[in-house]
Homo-oligomer: A and B are copies of this chain.
Amino acid sequence: MALTERKALDLWRRAMCSYVRTSDGDMTARQKAIFMTIALQPGPHTVRGLAADLNLAKPAVTRAIDALEKIGFVRRQKDQNDLRSVILERTVEGMDWLRDYAGLIVAAEAGEDVGRPMVDRKTAAA
């Protein structure tokens, strides 16, 4: 395995472990992808747009938005130019979470492993 790949995986592992450790571990990968797209990508975001972009069925996006709205990360806004459409907007609370999440990743990149060491004395000694 290439060195950069190994490094990328280790970064990912640390960040992922930190996330699992700290949080209540709720958000789905799908929800994360959708929320981060809404929060970080330009342009008005719609259900169909996200569904097409992420190669998902529309109901899946709707449900993810439901979850994201429930925890207050995203807001639904009717499109006045086409009342069928719904514009998805990020909230301040969502951005706050995102900032913390970024801190997690940056810390992982710096090599910090949030949490205790992982050797198991008993088994390791055997």
Partner of A123, one of B13, B16, B79: B79
How many chain A residues sit at the interface, stated as a range, is 35 or more
Q: Are the C-beta atoms of A43 and B106 separated by less than 8 Å?
A: no
Task: Output the nearest chain B residue to A85 by Cβ-Cβ distance.
Answer: B123
Q: Are the C-beta atoms of B118 and A46 separated by less than 8 Å?
A: no
Q: A78 within 8 Å of B by Cβ? A: no
Q: Are the C-beta atoms of B46 and A120 separated by less than 8 Å?
A: yes
A47 to chain B, nearest CB (A): 10
Q: Which residues of B contact A119 (CB under 8 A)?
A: 43, 49
A96 to chain B, nearest CB (A): 11
Q: A98 within 8 Å of B by Cβ? A: yes
